[in-house]
Amino acid sequence: MTKLAYYPGCTLKTTAKNFDDSTVASAKALGIELVEPERWNCCGTVHALAKDDVMHHLAPVRNMLRVQEMNSEGQVDSKEMITLCAMCYNTLKRSNQTFNEDSDKKQKIQDIMFKEEATYSGSVEVKHFLETLKEMGWDKVKEAVKTPLTGLKVAPYYGCLLLRPRGIGIDDTDNPRIIEDLFEALGAEVVNFAYKQKCCGSYNTVHMKEVVGDLAHKILKQAKDGGADILATACPLCEYNLGPRQEQVKVQYPSFDSIPVVYFTQLMSLAFGLGDEAMAFEANRPDPRPLLREKGLLEE
């Protein structure tokens, strides 16, 4: 087992527990033990874009220091910090970049963190789990498959923060392949659709759910028109805006038919045969289980 430091973030421990469970289980099936730092804090969810903002880099940097400590104590085998939530990934990766490229900010952050036992050196590498899979090789993923997702038409949905801004994304900004490659390895049929990188409305879901209803409708309809049975995502906010927010979509577009939206790791758990606890489909809205039973991928 390779031991890697794993930063789940707040949402994977609360409303997206199914993302956490399915990730830990499917990583294990591939010989990776994801080890959480003993204490971690919220990353802040969004990168501090204003150039004079130093304070908001502290939360991400503090988490990276925890991973550096885990590495120096021998708890993990590398200086990688594995993330799943697209917002965490983006925020941590960008703060790490700022820390390493802006010596003035680096000094300020280190000065403020004077009470920490160790000093963060900037050496932790923030990664998304999808990148770990790609590096491991799609053949290795394929070897772990027990139930190929034959006949399941999956639309990969990247959203914004896995791909943008340029230089931060986990794959080519304009023509990503990474989720497509994963689902081909899992035996599914990949549906290409135009809005896979389109924003779902993000945090506007809190106070402008009608706007998110419009955007979700556009994205979901595109995927359905392309023949998709199901959408797979890597962001708990995308999952919420495209999943549970379908109730709002139906209010605005009464003829809309629902379509399940799941985390890519849930479908990995299904393909790897890891059982109900790992898949945790009961937490998804709309419920993906009737579709997966109909496709012969889940038992009655």
Partner 1 sequence: MSSFRSTSVLRLHPENKVFNERIKELSGEEIDLCFQCGACSSGCPMTQEMDYLPSKIIRMTQLGLDEALDSGTIWVCTTCFNCEVSCPRGIDVANVMESLRQLVLRKKYDRVSLDELTPEELRELPPIAIISNQRKLTG
Smallest gap, in angstroms, from Cβ of residue 205 to partner 1? 6
Under a CB-based contact definition with an 8 Å cutoff, are residues 279 and 19 in contact? Answer: no
Name which of 144 and 199 has its Cβ closer to partner 1. 199
Question: For the purposes of burial, counting CB atoms within 10 Å of the CB of 103, is it exposed (0-12), middle (13-18) or buried (19 or more)?
Answer: exposed
Q: Which is nearer to partner 1, 15 or 97 (CB)?
A: 15
Q: Which residues bind partner 1 (CB under 8 A)?
A: 9-11, 14-16, 42, 44-46, 49-53, 56, 85, 87-88, 160-161, 164-166, 173-174, 197-199, 201-208, 211, 214-215, 236-237, 240, 244
Rank residues 71 and 83 by Cβ distance to partner 1 and give the closer one: 83
Q: Shortest Cβ distance from residue 13 to partner 1 (Å)?
A: 9
Separation between Cα atoms, residue 182 and residue 130, nearest integer Å: 8
CB closer to partner 1 out of 155 and 162: 162
Sheet containing strand 230-233, edge to edge, reads 189-190, 153-157, 230-233, 261-263
Q: Put residue 202 in one of left, alpha, beta given phi > 0 → left and psi -120 to 50 → alpha.
A: left
Closest distance to partner 1 from the beta carbon of 85 (Å): 7
Q: How many CA atoms lie within 13 A of 153 on its CB side?
A: 11
Q: Least distance to partner 1 from the beta carbon of 229, Å?
A: 24
Strands 80-83 and 125-128: parallel
Would you say 25 or 212 has its CB closer to partner 1?
212
What is the rounded distance in angstroms from the CA atom of residue 235 to the CA atom of residue 213? 17
Residue 100: Cβ within 10 Å count:
13
Shortest Cβ distance from residue 206 to partner 1 (Å)? 4
Nearer to partner 1 among residue 143 and residue 287 (C-beta):
287
**Shortest CB 235 distance to partner 1, Å:** 8
**First and final CA of the chain: distance in angstroms?**
34
